């Protein structure tokens, strides 16, 4: 069984892992191969959390119960006096666990995993990381482009709204102006109508006075004519009477 251990951003492969291999065995194998001083802890990390593994914890059983997409991370820890004493002790294992010497990493010259396989794994991991980064970059570029298009649409809508507001303001101003002009025109028409009505009334009154005067003159003339006719009639009667009396003489 092989394990991929991540240390300082670089993957390391540990081979010959059995069900009896402990967490301490794996740490010692990686540290011995890489020449790492100090004390280290193996952390089991998954997308939603992580936990440090105990030194005597069996790797195969722990990984079988680990969440999906879990990774093994080798982290440096503080070196205490107890840790120094424990580190200086020979790597004897209990419970029939394997010695660290039975494990090999991709940095060991006696590793059962070939260098080409490790390089292929490193290349595949690097390619996978590059592919994920490229995909994430493309998604971000697409999101930026969508946001840019959305901003342009919002700018167009804002300009249209501003034009609509300006048109509405101009229309309202024009409407008020037309109402004022109509009111002025109505007042002017009303004044003209009143003036024309007064003029017509004055003219009718003047014509009535003229006709009244003419009627008065006609009545006076008729009275004079009646008086003249009556006078003529009286004189005619008198003359006729005088003529008849002369005949009798």
pLDDT > 80? residue 82: no
pLDDT tens for each residue of 140-175: 888 898 899 999 999 999 989 888 888 887 888 888
Longest dimension (CA), the chain: 209
pTM of the model: 0.35
Which range has the worst mean pLDDT, 36-50, 67-81, 180-194, 204-218? 67-81
Alpha carbon distance 24, 104 (integer Å) = 13
pLDDT average, residue stretch 12-18? 87
The predicted structure's pLDDT at residue 109 = 38
Q: Which residue has the higher pLDDT, 127 or 93?
A: 127
pLDDT tens for each residue of 108-131: 433 444 344 445 556 666 777 788
The predicted structure's pLDDT at residue 243 = 72
Alpha carbon distance 32, 53 (integer Å) = 19
Domain topology for 3-113 = Ubiquitin-like (UB roll) (3.10.20)
Question: Where are the domains positioned within the chain?
Answer: 3-113
The predicted structure's pLDDT at residue 181 = 85
């Amino acid at each position: 069984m092989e394990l991929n251990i991540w240390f300082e951003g670089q993957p390391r492969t540990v081979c010959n892992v059995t069900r009896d291999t402990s967490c301490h065995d794996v740490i010692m194998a990686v540290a011995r191969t890489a020449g790492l001083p100090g004390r280290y802890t193996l952390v089991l990390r998954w997308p939603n959390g992580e936990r440090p593994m105990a030194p005597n914890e069996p790797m195969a059983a722990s990984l079988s119960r680990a969440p999906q997409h879990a990774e093994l991370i080798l982290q440096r820890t503080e070196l205490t006096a107890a840790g120094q004493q424990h580190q200086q002790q020979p790597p004897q294992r209990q419970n029939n666990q394997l010695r660290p010497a039975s494990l090999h990493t991709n940095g060991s010259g006696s590793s059962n995993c070939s260098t080409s396989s490790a390089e292929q794994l490193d290349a595949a991991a690097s390619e996978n990381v590059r592919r994920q980064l490229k995909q994430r970059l493309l998604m971000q570029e697409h999101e930026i482009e969508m946001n840019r298009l959305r901003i342009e649409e919002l700018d167009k809508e804002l300009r249209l709204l501003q034009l609509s507001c300006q048109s509405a303001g101009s229309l309202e101003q024009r409407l008020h102006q037309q109402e004022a002009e109509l009111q002025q025109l109505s007042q002017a028409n009303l004044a003209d109508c009143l003036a024309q009505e007064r003029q017509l009334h004055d003219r009718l009154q003047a014509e009535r006075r003229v006709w009244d005067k003419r009627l008065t003159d006609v009545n006076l003339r008729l009275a004079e004519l009646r008086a003249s006719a009556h006078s003529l009639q009286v004189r005619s009667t008198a003359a006729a009477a005088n003529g008849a009396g002369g005949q009798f003489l």
